[in-house]
Chain A
Amino acid sequence: MNRKKILCVDDSATVLMLEKMLLSRQQYEIVTARDGSEGVEQARAHRPDLILMDVVMPKMDGFEAVRRIRADEALKGVPVIMVTTRGEPVSMEQGYAAGCSDYVTKPIDGMELLTKVKSHIGEAEAGA
């Protein structure tokens, strides 16, 4: 079976480990990156089916990383879920303006994360 690939981008090793544990159980293949710049590189190298993107990161923040991913012809259709502590509407608007597909706030609610991941990976399949 072809496993779906998810790229998790976060500067927190704790969050990456948590996301990996929650998603690996669902048979997803996980690729990780520690900042926005590495996230864009990994996205180009691995062509993931979905990206989980932190907002506040060193080198390049999540908004800029999403803008670059959306500008890349090969990646512009990949769903990106922002994973952030910033749950206020103004921050969400900024994320959607940059091109993200959805939001999950920290602390991560496992059920919410899995539901959104499944929903967007399903959407991506339907749209392919």
Chain B
Amino acid sequence: MSDGKSGPAAKAAALGDVSGKLAEMIASLQKSRESLARAAGPALTPVPQPSAAPVRPIPAGDEAAPLRERIEELEADRRASGDEIVWLQGQIAHTAGLFATLRRLHEAADRDDVLDGLAEAVVSIVGCERFAILLVEGEALRPLRTMGITEERAARLAEVLHAHATAGKRLVGAEARAVDLSLTAIVPLAARGEVAGAIAMEALLPQRGVLGSSDDEVMTLLGLHGALAWLAAPEAKGGR
């Protein structure tokens, strides 16, 4: 992944280490509390169990300072572990999205089904409901699937994008807008040195943020595996 961290497996291992450390610290904290309780006498006993432990006031005095420090350390570790878990869940969902897209494309029964798979990924994984999927036919690009845009607009996009798409250049954000003001991204469908077509995306869904590094991975996958699936799939019964 491109978030400056290692892969999910490494993260899971790191999280395992953190959990181990946390368990050691809890055990050590428990021991400290027990010895502190023994030293202070009956006023501090019984020692609460870690599971359902209500927060008890920490006794004032020098002997409690190390305990407070340990609790603060433990709290900081707990927060860090929480952040790691949230990050890992995000990575799992992202990876699951990539896998589902990949499997959907390569399980496609024919070229129509490949187009359906691409459209599903653009809507549900990228978050865009205004797009055209354009495929090379002879010397031209033809819009074979569109959503949220008119036929005229799709035909116009096919003309405008021909040079960029057939050059296999992926353009995102300002680069895409430089080609056509309404575009958010142009993703060429290219594999084995052959350009099969392109996906032209206009506005993203309102709840979507801007395209980020995880979207790069989705677009790379769509561009390569969309093309591979398209080139490998048999023509649909209708002739495509």
Q: Is the CB of A110 within 8 A of B124?
A: no
Interface of B, helix, strand, loop or mixed by DSSP: helix
| Cross-chain contact of A14 among B89, B120, B206, B208 (Cβ < 8 A) | B120
Task: Give the chain B neighbours of A21 by CB distance below 8 A.
Answer: 96, 99-100
Tell me whether B104 is interfacial, beta carbon within 8 Å: yes
Q: Is the CB of A85 within 8 A of B89?
A: no
Task: Give the chain B neighbours of A110 by CB distance below 8 A.
Answer: 89-90, 92-94, 96
Tell me whether A114 is interfacial, beta carbon within 8 Å: yes
B226 to chain A, nearest CB (A): 12
Residues of B in contact, count (CB < 8 Å): 27
**Quick check: which of A45-53, A68-76, A101-109, A119-127 contacts chain B, the rest being far away?**
A101-109
Chain A residue with the shortest CB-CB distance to B86: A111
Q: B residues bordering A, Cβ < 8 Å?
A: 86, 89-90, 92-94, 96-97, 99-101, 103-104, 107, 117, 120-121, 123-127, 129, 205-208
Task: Give the chain B neighbours of A108 by CB distance below 8 A.
Answer: 93, 97, 124
Tell me whether A15 is interfacial, beta carbon within 8 Å: yes
- CA–CA, A105 to B97, complex, Å? 15
Q: Is the CB of A107 within 8 A of B89?
A: no
Q: Is the CB of B96 within 8 A of A107?
A: no
Task: Give the chain A neighbours of B89 by CB distance below 8 A.
Answer: 110-111, 114
Tell me whether A17 is interfacial, beta carbon within 8 Å: yes
Tell me whether A87 is interfacial, beta carbon within 8 Å: yes
Task: Give the chain A neighbours of B104 by CB distance below 8 A.
Answer: 13-14, 17
Tell me whether A57 is interfacial, beta carbon within 8 Å: no
Chain A residue with the shortest CB-CB distance to B208: A107
Task: Give the chain A neighbours of B97 by CB distance below 8 A.
Answer: 18, 107-108
B196 to chain A, nearest CB (A): 20
A25 to chain B, nearest CB (A): 8
